Structure formats: structure tokens, C-alpha cells
Chain A
Amino acid sequence: MGIQKRKGTAGAATAFVSRGKAIKKLQLSLKDFRRLCILKGIYPVEPRNKNKAGGQLKTYYLAKDIRFLAHEPIITKFRAMKIFAKKLRRAIDKRMKEKEQTVRNNEPTYRLDHIVKERYPTFIDAIRDLDDALSMCFLFATLPKSGLYKSEILQLCRKLSVEFMNYVVESRSLMKCFISIKGFYYQANIQGQTVTWVVPHGFPQTGDDVDARIMTTFTEFYVTLLGFINYKLYTNSNLVYPPKLAIEKVNARDEELCDGEDAKDDYLETLTTALKTVVKDMDEDAQIDNFDDVDALGVHQSAEADRCFRNLFSKLKVFLNREVPREPFTFVLRCFGAQVSWDAYVFPGAAFDEKDTSITHHIVDRPVLSHKVINRYYVQPQWVFDCVNARRLLPVEEYFPGVELPPHLSPFVERKEGAYEPLSKEEMTRRIEEENEDRDADQVERQPPAKKAKKEVNEGPSPKKMSVKKGKPVKVDIDRAEKMMSAEEKKLAVMMIPKKDKRLFDSINKKKKMEKRDVNRLVKKREEIIQMKRKNLKSGSR
């Protein structure tokens, strides 16, 4: 027998460190520790056996992670910040103005560049984790400046989000978009990675019901990350960073509204103008080499479909009426190559007027229009989003102003067997009318059998006579019997599943059952709706 092993010297006991111990080791306050964890992306880890790690009620971090944190140069900055706060407080309380100024001049600052690099060693890693960063930046871009949120970070968020949108427009990488009650969801394919983000509706958010410190810490990191990603994206796609407009001068009218350089910044926000490139005359799309392979055909086809999708709106000239939210719609339309404009007083940078005769589509979100121009379509905003999700230009009839819109479905729901699929609008109306007819037909059909039954009843009490009748062969539904048989066999086999697998088997079955129940509930509800509509239709027609 070798040397006896002591308890707590190997395994989970040493691999995990509780939060309290970690704080003690790093000599930080809980607040600073949390901040560090947020910035460094360190998260608690659930040990497989908590008892072995040291108890049920604690949060555990990997000991390796904590050792890694101990070497973080930002910790010294945190300490410097603490001292700074102390000094500043003292200077303010003692009313030493000069001292205060000196202290303020020497406020410690830190940069998170190295952390970004550490957390995302490759560019693709960074893009993969972009979802939260984007959503947060887009949210912060709409927050009002307050004591909780400093204006610098809010402005920076706005700037970076506009840059990112410009990139998406420029690279035509938007894939899906969705109007939800929470906000606008967008999904883009950036460098082969799917990035999804959500932008709130254009209403004021306050953000004072949550812990602003945590939000700000996250945003601090996200801003750094998004900045570097923007830089890389712009430089990779031959664009100047920070973005510059390709045009030399802005509209005279807009220049009046906002002076000189500001106008150009505002023009970036319009998303309608092209950006300045580093090198001119680059091939926009690399051509796929022609191979005489069998597969090559498929590749070419998909590339062609992709190109078509990217230029979905390229032949459209769209005018946004003033009640239509400008930014999301400009963004989506521009991502697919449309020309977009709006009322000049809504936002600077309106390219053309409402009276322009070459406008093909006019997006309107009101039921009645005072005047109409004959050579353009007036459509409701949902048309744009539905077109993108359907990857083709949908017929505009269903989207005319004042017309009841077809349901707006989420493009993020994947088709799955057994899952509920809502009916399209045509299908719905067809079923309402069709079943109406069916019902009528049914009623006609059903009446005669009832009479027959009556007749049989009348014949019933005839006296029974002893007789031998020719026997009828009993019909055996072989399929059904076999089904029953196999079901029984399966049941018997299920009995013999070992306990270990039985739980898994049960949980899977339970989940399936729940799903099925949900689907059934939706189907039932739909049937009820159809019934009701049919009734309404009938009463309406009468």
C-alpha cells in the first residue's frame, strides 16, 4: 500500500474555489471582484459533486480561473481607483479646491484591449459572442443621459451601433428581421457567423430600475469589443475606419440645420450614403471559379440565389411616410439595396421628395391617405419585413393601407416535425369558407340517414323466429390488430427498461407529451377561431 491519500488534496476539492475564498485570495471587495469577473468573463462553475467541492450552498469558481485573475493588471487599477475615490472624497470634504483638481487630473483610467484579446483570441471568436454586445449597445444608444449613465458611454454606444449598422448595410449581410412586441430583431451573417440582436422600439427607456453599475460595467467591455470588431470589419471590407462618407458635400439644407462636420456625422446615421473606401475599384464579389464538377452547379446555384436575395430591394425606390420608424426601415431596406428617403423635416439626409415620380413603394402606416400618387404602391411597413423573411418580393395586395394584415411570423422558428405550424392567411380564409360549404353539405347528407334509422325502429318489434342464418365471416382488421400487437409488445418491452434508462425515457416521453399538448391546445384554439369567424361570416352574409 502506498502513502495514504489525504482528504481534500485532489479532485473537486482543489479544482474549485468558493467565491468567498476567491475574494480573500484576490484581496478585493465583492464589488470589485464582480466587476473583474464581468470584464474578464469569468463565471461560476457548477461542480459535478458540490459536497466534494466544499458544500451545497456556495458558488464555485474554477481555481484555475481565480489564479488567472490574480495576474490581471486591472486589479492594481481597481486599487488605484479606490485610493483615488478616497483622495477625492477627502479633498472635497475638506474643500481643498486645488488638491481636488490635482486628484481629478490624475484619475486612473484603464483600457480593456488586452482583455478583449484574451477572451477572444481570434476574430471569429469575437464575432461569435457579439449578440449580447450588440443588444446592449443598441439599448444604451437609446437610454437618456442621467446620473446613472454617463453621456460619454451613451454617445459612444450610439456611434458604434451606427457604425455597425453601416457596415451591415455596406456588406449586405442581413439575413432575417422580425418585429416583436419587445423590439426589432435582426439576424445577420457576419464573416460566416450568425449574429442576432434586438433593438428596442423608439420609446424612451429609463433604465433606473436596475443596477446601473453592472450594466455600465458590461457596456464598458462591450463598447471596447464592438469598437475593435468594427475596426476589423471595416478594414477587412476595404472601408475607412472611422467611417467617412464617400460624398464630398452634404445637402445645402442639411448643412444649415447642422453645421459642417456634424452634418456628415448625421449623414452616417441616415444609412443611405455610401462609405469611403480605402482602395478604389475592387471587385465587389469574388467570382467563383468554374470547375467542371458536378457539385459546382449546386454551388453556383446557391451563390446566385444568395446574390438575388441580397439585391432583393435593389430596384425599389422607397419613401417612408413620417409615421414609419425611420431607422429600422431604412436599415432593412438599405441592406437589400433599396433607395430610401423620407420627409426632409423628419431627419437630415432625405435624398428625394415625396413628390418624386420615380418612387415605386411608399410605406404608410395609417389607414386613410389624403392624396395618392397613381404610379406607386402604398404598403404597410410589415411588407418590408415579410419580404425579407420570405426571401422574395411578396404581392402587395395584402399589405395595402387599411387592409387587415396577414400574421407576422417569426423567421427564427425552425420547422420541426410535430411542432405547431400556423396557417397562412389564405389557408385560413379558405378553410373558413370551405368548411362552411362542408357543413352545408354535411347537413344535407346527414338528414336522410336519420329518417332511415327511424324506419328501422319501426320495423324493429317484428316477432323473432327460430331460424338458422348463414354466418357472416367476422371482419378482422389485420392492420389494427397488428398495431395493437406491436403496441402491446412495446409496452412489455418498456417494462424491462433498466431503472437508469427509465428516467431518461420517461423524461423524453414527458417532454414529447407536453409538446404535443401545447400543439393540441393551439390547434383547438385555431379551430375555435375558425368556427367563430365562420359564424361571423354567416351572420354578415345574412
Chain B
Amino acid sequence: MTGAKKSAKKALQRSKTPGELGGKSKNTSEKKAIQGKSKIQKAAPKPLFEEDDSDASSVLEDSEDPTSSEDDGAGDEADSSELEFESDADSGKEELDQGDIIEDKEKNEENGGPEAEKPEEELEDDGVSMTFWRADEEDFNLKSKVDLKKNKKKEPLEMSPQDRDVKPNGKRSASPRPSASKDEYEFDSSDEEDLRNTIGNVPIEWYDNYPHLGYDVNGRRVYKPVREDQLDYFLKKMDDPTFWRTVKDRMTGQNVVLSEADMDLINRLEKGKNPDPNMESYPKFEDLYSHEVMIHPLTARPEAKRSFIPSLHEKALVGRMVHLIKSGVYAKCWKPKKEEGPRYYNLWTEDEDPSLIRRLRSFIPAPKMKLPGHEESYNPPEEYLFTPEEEAEWHNQDPEERKLNFIPRKYSSLRQVPGYSGFVQERFERCLDLYLCPRQRKMRMNVNPDDLIPELPKPKDLHPFPAFCSVVYKGHTDHVRSVSMENLGQFFASGSDDCSVRIWETLTGRCFNTIQFEAPVKWVQWCPNPAIALLAVASGPYVHFVNPGVGDKVVLTNTDVILESLPESEGSAKGSGEWSVVTDEDLRKQGHRLRVHHKFDVAQVSWHAKGDYLAVLYGSASTTSLIIHQLSLRRSQNPFSKFNSVISRVIFHPTRPHLFVATQTVVRVYNLVKQELQKKLLTNCKYVSSIAVHPKGDNVIAGSFEARLSWFDMDLSTKPYKAMKYHDSAIRAVTFHRKYPLFASASDDGTVIVAHGMVYSDLLQNPLIVPVKVLRGHRRTNDLGVLDCTFHPTQPWIVSAGADATLRLYT
């Protein structure tokens, strides 16, 4: 092998490997190859060959050189339009070359047919080259063949594929060869690279302004090829069929025509195929092992038993399948589904199943949807439309609260009516109601409210009762707390928060007397004994006994005589009260006679019917809040050593020796003779404010701060016979008429309600209670209305004491 040959081969080798990588690198490799070629050109005259005759390749190279180099130059420009202008600058012997190439081509065409037809012959001619190139690159193949023929070198050469590759056309080393066998890097060394152009790694642009491209091994300039002019370039473009695949090598300045193999390679790379056309992606499978039965096992492990015993699992599987097939299930499985539309028939034939009807007896049908009213119309009367305020209110309400679930709208014609967006939602809610809403059978009560009003005797049939306000007594300056009537009914006394007691004449309304006290007067009560005229007044911690100074003179003087003849107080229980006679002349003039001092403020006093005993109730809570005084002996006693609950009212029985003590919730009845608890009346109230006993003594009424009035029939039960809640606010006082079947209750709502309360002597007949009159007139002051009331002893009249500092007489 000559050195030139070697270098060419190396170049080829180098070009091959990067060529596979991509277009750019391939270009450089091509350039190198071409550079190598030019080197060879120069080197050719030198006697480098060892075997002149025998080495066909070298001869071949020599003869080919001019052609090939020109070939390259021609091909250079045509390769791509990108390179066109560069190639313009180049100069060379294109014209000559063109002719050659055309010639080559023609030859190729001539040989194209026979070559395909008789490969055998060619093998004989040039066996090696033919066999190698046949498959992939016919053009090249043929050309080389022609070349060979030209040179009449027909000696069979024994060369490696690489060698053969180079030999026919060294300068075509740019064509990529599949490097299958030999080490590509065998000849690859950096110092050998610069054999053609020794400029090294210097960019080629640096030589742009020089006539040469670089230097060869010997330091001589390698000149750029002559630049062709525009005309030549054009002519070439027109004439040269390979113009389109001619590229310029910038390293050498030569044009290189890309071979078919190059083109093929580029195409393959573009398409993303394997660059090697020989590479078989799917090689034919060669069965290497299975057809040769090995006589020896691979392992010495004995075969499992299950490998030669039929599988039970499979047996079961097959058995099941057989069963399924026999029973026809399989057939059913595979039968396509029958198209079944809804069938309708006469479901309700004559015969009705009584059991079904029986079941439905307890069925509660869902209520029907509410039918639309006028407001739902698309064109309702205008008054049904919402005002802006109503609409705003509708929007503010919760959907459940709304009376209508839509806003009424008016459209002037049907075509303007839009779709109702809540339609589906409404149906859905109806569905939910149907299956989720608990149902209950409710009796729709078609009740006339008037039927609920109890049938009572008409008030006008129950006369007499007070009906009109006749007299208004003015004079007090503060709430009038208490009022009490004289036995004959000619006068009455009233106690007020302005610390005074006034004595009024009932009929005229004239104030006869005003008695002043130190503290607000909580309670006044006229002594029921007709022989004396005495007033018990509760004011502060004192109970004053006052001679009112009105009425029969004899009685008045009698009273004074009796009071003075009373013995000194003796034997009073400790802490129950200190009696003292009023000696101050001014006070005596006013009427003060006696007074009893207590530990606490007194809230209420209550005379016994005979006018000797007087019960006194403390206002503030105390263990001993009840004291009983005996006037005739000026003695006091404490009936209860200890009383657990707070007492709100106390009253004597009109005829019997009984004492009624009202605590907050119950009324206790004590027998004073036997000294025991006789009865406990349960009021069902929280705060009893007042009690009154019927003159006959068997009926009690209790008023409470919850505005409840309870009537007890003591013969019937300890629970209220009747409870009335006809007042609007707290009841302050209750009272019975001594003669007429009347009772009254005074309340903070400013009314006094007079009721007919008939008690029959026949024990089988229950009392008749009919409210007959609501008496109004008092003004509410400081949330207080009427504070007390009392009946006239003989007339059906009533006097009420109001918080508005007046008293009123109703007749």
C-alpha cells in the first residue's frame, strides 16, 4: 500500500464515522477527504508506489484525479442553494469535468441494464467490487466498473472492504460506508490530518483575502481554484444535471458532487431511518435452539409430579364448562339481548285484589300541588305586581319564608313571556316532598270560631253590677296604695304613698279628713266591728289605730272610751310589737290613738271579722313575718315560730276561726283553734299577689302577678275550680262583694274586671263565673295601674285606687 493510498483510506474512514452522526459533521469529513485527494494529486508524480503494475488502484487514482477533482467542483455548487454564492467565487475546470461526468453517466446508463441482468458475469469481471456495491449504490458501482474497464486492470484483488472502497474512487471518500468490520480509529491520529492542507485548526475565514487556502506538507501554498463567473455559473446551472447536488468544500475550495450514496444517506437521516441501509430492523428469526432436542437436561432437578399428572383445576374448569353447556347457560349468555319496548296492557281488569285495597286503607295520599292564583298569570291585574319595596323584601327573605316562590310579572303579550328557569327545580322539590316528607293525617278543623266561645248568661241578665265611673276622688299626690270602706258604706279611707290617709264621703266625693303619717301608707283597713270607728293604718314599721272622726258621733266617742279603757299591754310575745298610746295632742286631734311598733316595715294588716284580732304582715322577708295583735288586750303574738316560705297575703275567714296565709305559690288554711294546717290550695301560680274569701267562706280567689285569677271551691278540690287569664298584666287586688254575687280584680293594665260569681247553696251545683264588666278609667303610671279595689258593703258599687293618685267609684 502506498502512503497516498493509505491517507485516502484514512480520510475515508474518518469521513465515514462522523458522517453517520449528521449533516454538518459529514460536510467537514468530506472536505477532509477531498483535501486528502488533492494531496494525492500533488503527490502522484512522486515515485511512491512499490508495485507499479500490480497496484491498479494507484494507477486508477492517477488517471482519475483530474476528472474527480473537477467532478467535485462541479457538484459543489449544485448541492444546495445555500452554497450558491460561495461556489460563484470558485474557479475550476468545470466545463471539462462536466463533459466527463456526462460521459460517465451515459456509460452508467448503458451498463445499468446488463449489470442487473447478469451479475455473474460481472463477478467474473470485477467480482470484488461488484459484490460489495451491488446492493446499495449502483451508480457508484457502475462508475467504478467503467473506470476499471478503462484501465484494463482485471486482476482480482484481495482487499478488505475498506480497501476496495477506496480503490475505485479515492476522492469519493465522502460517501458513507457502513463500517462493519474494522476498527475505525486504527489510522486516526491528529498529526495525519494535516496532510492535505496544513493550516491546522485555524479558521478558514482567515484565508478569505488570500489567493491560497493553506499549505501542503512541504510548505507550499495550496491555491484557491479559479473563480467562475456568473455566466459560467448560470450555464452550469442549466446544463449540469448534477448541479443540484454539488457542494463546495471550503477547505480545498473544490466543488464536490454528492454521490447517490451520500444522497441516500442524507435522505435516510432526514427521515429518521437507520443510516445503514443494510441494517435490518426485523431480522428473520432463526430458531437456534428448539429444533435441536438436547439429550441432557439443563439441570439435574427431578421433574415435578404435577408435570405428568393431569391438572385437577383444569378438570374442574372443563367440568364446569361442560355443565354450563349442557344446562344451556352458555347459550343464554351468548344470546344477544332481546329488544323489549314497554308493553302496556289492561292492568285494571275487573277482578280486584281485596288485599291490595286493604293495605291502602291506612295510606295517606300526598297533598296535591297548589294551584296557581291570579298572581302567577303572565298578565295579572296590576295590583298583584310587586312594588319595589315588596320586591326588595322578597329578595331579602329566605326561600322558605317566601309566600310566593316567584316574582309576579306582567307581559303585554304572550310572545314576550320568557322561559321559567325554576321549572325543573320546582318539579324536583315536589319529588323530594313526595318521598322524603313525613306525612301525618291531620283533621282539618273547619271550626267556626264563634262556636268556641262558651255559652254564658248575658251580662245584662246579671244586673246589678258596677258599669259606669260616677265619681273620681282627687286629692292624693302619689300612688294610692289601699282603700277600705266603712261598714255602712258612707265613707271610705284611702292610704297613699304621699304619707297620708284620706277619708272620703262615697257619694259626694268630698274629702272629710286627711291624716298625715311619717312614712308612706301601705295599707288601711276599717275595723269591721260596727260598735267602734277605728282605722288600722300600716305606715313604716308602725301600725296606727286611728279614729277617723267621721260618722256617728256616739260611735266616735264610744271608740275613744273603749280605747282608753283598754288594759296595759301584757304578755306580748317577744319581738312581736310594742304597744303605745299616742299622747301628743296634735296627733290625737288628727285621730291617732294607739300605735304598735314593729321590727320591720309593715306591708299589710287584716282585721278579723269581729274586729278584735288584727293580723300584720311584714313587707321584708323575715322568719317571723306574721304577727297577730289582739286589740282588747293590747297583746301581740307570733303564731308561727318559723315560716319557711315568703308570705304574700294573710286574711281571716269571715265566719270560722281559720286563717288564710298565701305564700308565693300556695294558699295555706290554718285552723286557729286546733292550731293545725287544714288545707293547702295549689294555685299553679308563681307569685300570688292577693287573695279574697267569699263571704260564705267556702270559696277563695287568688290573683297573681302572672295575671292569673284562680277560683277555688274549697269543697271541691285543692286545685283551682277555674283559672281565668283575662288580665293583660299583674293582678294587684281581688275582692268579693259582701252581698251580691260579684267579685272584682284590679290589675296593672289599668282595668278592674267585675265578674259575676254565683255560689249556690246546692252543693251539687258548681259556682257560675261570668265576667260582666271591664271597668276602665285609671291611667297607668310607672307601669302601675289599679292598686286596690273594694266593693261597697250594700250597693253594687266598687271603689278603685289607682297609681295615678285618684280613686274612682263605679256604680
A binds B: yes
Interface residues of A (CB under 8 A from B): 34, 37-38, 42-46, 48, 59-60, 62, 64, 68, 102, 104-107, 109, 113, 116-118, 120-123, 125-126, 128-129, 131-132, 135-136, 139, 143, 156, 178-183, 185, 196, 200-207, 209-211, 214-215, 218, 223-224, 227-228, 230-232, 235, 241, 323-325, 365-367, 380-382, 404-405, 407-410, 412-413, 422-423, 485, 488-499, 501, 504-505, 508-509, 512, 522-523, 525-526, 529
- Whether A203 touches B424, Cβ cut-off 8 Å, given contacts A180-B372, A409-B381, A496-B724, is no
Is B21's CB within 8 Å of the partner chain A?
Answer: no
Q: Which of B46-54, B151-159, B436-444 contacts A (4 or more CB under 8 A)?
A: B436-444
CA A42 – CA B360 in complex, angstroms?
11
Q: Which residues of A contact B773 (CB under 8 A)?
A: 492
Q: Which residues of A contact B333 (CB under 8 A)?
A: 102, 105-106
Q: Within the complex, which residue of A38, A129, A410 is in contact with B377, where a contact is CB–CB below 8 Å?
A: A410
Sampled A-B contacts (20; CB under 8 Å): A43-B366, A105-B333, A109-B340, A120-B348, A135-B369, A156-B342, A179-B378, A180-B378, A201-B419, A209-B424, A232-B348, A407-B382, A489-B458, A490-B453, A492-B770, A492-B774, A493-B453, A497-B454, A504-B452, A508-B449
Is there an interface contact between A492 and B772, defined as CB atoms closer than 8 Å?
Answer: yes
Interface residues of B in 396-413 (CB under 8 A from A): 406, 408-409, 411-413
Is there an interface contact between B440 and A46, defined as CB atoms closer than 8 Å?
Answer: yes
Is B133's CB within 8 Å of the partner chain A?
Answer: no
Q: Which residues of B contact A196 (CB under 8 A)?
A: 368-369, 371
Closest beta carbon of chain A to B448's beta carbon, Å: 9
Q: Which residues of B contact A405 (CB under 8 A)?
A: 379, 412-413
- Whether A43 touches B438, Cβ cut-off 8 Å, given contacts A132-B430, A232-B346, A496-B724, is yes
Q: Within the complex, which residue of B346, B357, B369 is in contact with A132, where a contact is CB–CB below 8 Å?
A: B369
Is B644's CB within 8 Å of the partner chain A?
Answer: no
CA A365 – CA B411 in complex, angstroms?
12
Q: Within the complex, which residue of B378, B381, B431, B436 is in contact with A218, where a contact is CB–CB below 8 Å?
A: B431
Interface residues of B (CB under 8 A from A): 332-337, 340, 342, 344-348, 352-353, 356-357, 359-360, 362, 364-366, 368-369, 371-374, 376-384, 387, 406, 408-409, 411-415, 417-420, 422-428, 430-432, 434-440, 445, 447, 449, 452-454, 456, 458-460, 724-726, 769-774
Task: Closest A residue to B445 by CB, please name it.
Answer: A504
Is there an interface contact between A185 and B372, defined as CB atoms closer than 8 Å?
Answer: yes
Q: Which residues of B contact A501 (CB under 8 A)?
A: 452
- Whether A43 touches B376, Cβ cut-off 8 Å, given contacts A121-B357, A522-B383, is no
Is there an interface contact between A45 and B438, defined as CB atoms closer than 8 Å?
Answer: yes
Q: Which residues of B contact A207 (CB under 8 A)?
A: 424
- Whether A492 touches B427, Cβ cut-off 8 Å, given contacts A121-B353, A131-B369, A232-B348, is no
Q: Within the complex, which residue of B348, B374, B437 is in contact with A43, where a contact is CB–CB below 8 Å?
A: B437
Is there an interface contact between B377 and A407, defined as CB atoms closer than 8 Å?
Answer: yes
- Whether A122 touches B352, Cβ cut-off 8 Å, given contacts A232-B346, A489-B458, is yes
Task: List the 6 shortest-distance A-B pairs measured between CB atoms, nearest first.
Answer: A203-B419, A412-B371, A495-B726, A210-B428, A46-B440, A422-B381
Is there an interface contact between B387 and A206, defined as CB atoms closer than 8 Å?
Answer: no
Q: Which residues of B contact A223 (CB under 8 A)?
A: 342
Closest beta carbon of chain B to A476's beta carbon, Å: 15
Closest beta carbon of chain A to B257's beta carbon, Å: 56
Closest beta carbon of chain B to A23's beta carbon, Å: 14
Q: Which residues of B contact A68 (CB under 8 A)?
A: 359
Task: Closest A residue to B419 by CB, please name it.
Answer: A203
Q: Within the complex, which residue of B340, B371, B372, B452 is in contact with A497, where a contact is CB–CB below 8 Å?
A: B452
Chain A CB within 10 A, most for which of B346, B348, B352: B348
Is there an interface contact between B456 and A493, defined as CB atoms closer than 8 Å?
Answer: yes
- Whether A136 touches B427, Cβ cut-off 8 Å, given contacts A59-B438, A365-B414, A529-B382, is yes
Task: Closest A residue to B428 by CB, please name it.
Answer: A210
Q: Which residues of A contact B422 (CB under 8 A)?
A: 182
Is there an interface contact between B413 and A380, defined as CB atoms closer than 8 Å?
Answer: yes
Is there an interface contact between A407 and B406, defined as CB atoms closer than 8 Å?
Answer: no
Q: Which residues of B contact A529 (CB under 8 A)?
A: 382-383
Task: Closest B residue to A204 by CB, please name it.
Answer: B419
Is there an interface contact between B425 and A210, defined as CB atoms closer than 8 Å?
Answer: yes
CA A206 – CA B422 in complex, angstroms?
11
Closest beta carbon of chain A to B516's beta carbon, Å: 42
CA A404 – CA B772 in complex, angstroms?
60
Q: Within the complex, which residue of A42, A105, A231 is in contact with B337, where a contact is CB–CB below 8 Å?
A: A105
Is there an interface contact between B453 and A44, defined as CB atoms closer than 8 Å?
Answer: no
Q: Which residues of B contact A485 (CB under 8 A)?
A: 460
Q: Which residues of A contact B384 (CB under 8 A)?
A: 422, 522
Is there an interface contact between A107 and B406, defined as CB atoms closer than 8 Å?
Answer: no
**Further pairs besides A121-B353, A121-B360: 20, Cβ < 8 Å:** A45-B440, A117-B348, A122-B352, A132-B369, A135-B430, A139-B423, A201-B420, A215-B424, A215-B428, A223-B342, A228-B345, A228-B348, A230-B344, A380-B414, A407-B380, A407-B381, A408-B377, A412-B372, A492-B459, A492-B770
Is there an interface contact between B438 and A46, defined as CB atoms closer than 8 Å?
Answer: yes
Is there an interface contact between A235 and B346, defined as CB atoms closer than 8 Å?
Answer: yes
Is there an interface contact between A215 and B431, defined as CB atoms closer than 8 Å?
Answer: yes
CA A317 – CA B447 in complex, angstroms?
51
CA A42 – CA B439 in complex, angstroms?
10
Q: Which residues of B contact A489 (CB under 8 A)?
A: 458-460
Closest beta carbon of chain A to B415's beta carbon, Å: 4
Is there an interface contact between B340 and A365, defined as CB atoms closer than 8 Å?
Answer: no
Q: Which residues of A contact B434 (CB under 8 A)?
A: 38, 43, 132, 218
Is there an interface contact between B435 and A37, defined as CB atoms closer than 8 Å?
Answer: yes
Closest beta carbon of chain A to B439's beta carbon, Å: 5
Is there an interface contact between B347 and A116, defined as CB atoms closer than 8 Å?
Answer: yes
- Whether A34 touches B379, Cβ cut-off 8 Å, given contacts A210-B424, A405-B412, A492-B459, is no
CA A380 – CA B724 in complex, angstroms?
64
Is there an interface contact between A126 and B427, defined as CB atoms closer than 8 Å?
Answer: no
Task: Closest B residue to A224 by CB, please name it.
Answer: B342
CA A45 – CA B438 in complex, angstroms?
5
Q: Which residues of B contact A132 (CB under 8 A)?
A: 369, 430-431, 434
Chain A CB within 10 A, most for which of B337, B414, B426, B432: B414
- Whether A182 touches B348, Cβ cut-off 8 Å, given contacts A43-B438, A407-B381, A522-B384, is no
Closest beta carbon of chain A to B770's beta carbon, Å: 7
CA A42 – CA B449 in complex, angstroms?
37
Task: Closest B residue to A323 by CB, please name it.
Answer: B415
Q: Which residues of A contact B439 (CB under 8 A)?
A: 43-46
CA A505 – CA B453 in complex, angstroms?
9
CA A185 – CA B374 in complex, angstroms?
13
Q: Which residues of B contact A228 (CB under 8 A)?
A: 344-345, 347-348
Q: Which residues of A contact B332 (CB under 8 A)?
A: 106
Q: Which residues of B contact A180 (CB under 8 A)?
A: 372, 376-378
Chain A CB within 10 A, most for which of B362, B366, B418, B435: B435
Is there an interface contact between A102 and B415, defined as CB atoms closer than 8 Å?
Answer: no
Is there an interface contact between A123 and B348, defined as CB atoms closer than 8 Å?
Answer: yes
Q: Which residues of A contact B406 (CB under 8 A)?
A: 181-182
Task: Closest A residue to B424 by CB, please name it.
Answer: A207
Is there an interface contact between A182 and B423, defined as CB atoms closer than 8 Å?
Answer: yes
CA A382 – CA B379 in complex, angstroms?
9
Q: Which residues of B contact A45 (CB under 8 A)?
A: 364, 438-440
CA A37 – CA B439 in complex, angstroms?
14
Q: Within the complex, which residue of B414, B423, B432 is in contact with A179, where a contact is CB–CB below 8 Å?
A: B414
Closest beta carbon of chain A to B468's beta carbon, Å: 13
Is there an interface contact between B378 and A408, defined as CB atoms closer than 8 Å?
Answer: yes
Q: Which residues of B contact A512 (CB under 8 A)?
A: 449
Q: Which residues of A contact B342 (CB under 8 A)?
A: 156, 223-224, 227
Is there an interface contact between B419 and A205, defined as CB atoms closer than 8 Å?
Answer: yes
- Whether A139 touches B438, Cβ cut-off 8 Å, given contacts A117-B356, A407-B380, is no
Is there an interface contact between B377 and A497, defined as CB atoms closer than 8 Å?
Answer: no
Closest beta carbon of chain A to B445's beta carbon, Å: 7
Q: Which residues of A contact B770 (CB under 8 A)?
A: 492, 496
Chain B CB within 10 A, most for which of A109, A181, A214, A529: A181
CA A429 – CA B459 in complex, angstroms?
51
Is there an interface contact between B387 and A525, defined as CB atoms closer than 8 Å?
Answer: yes
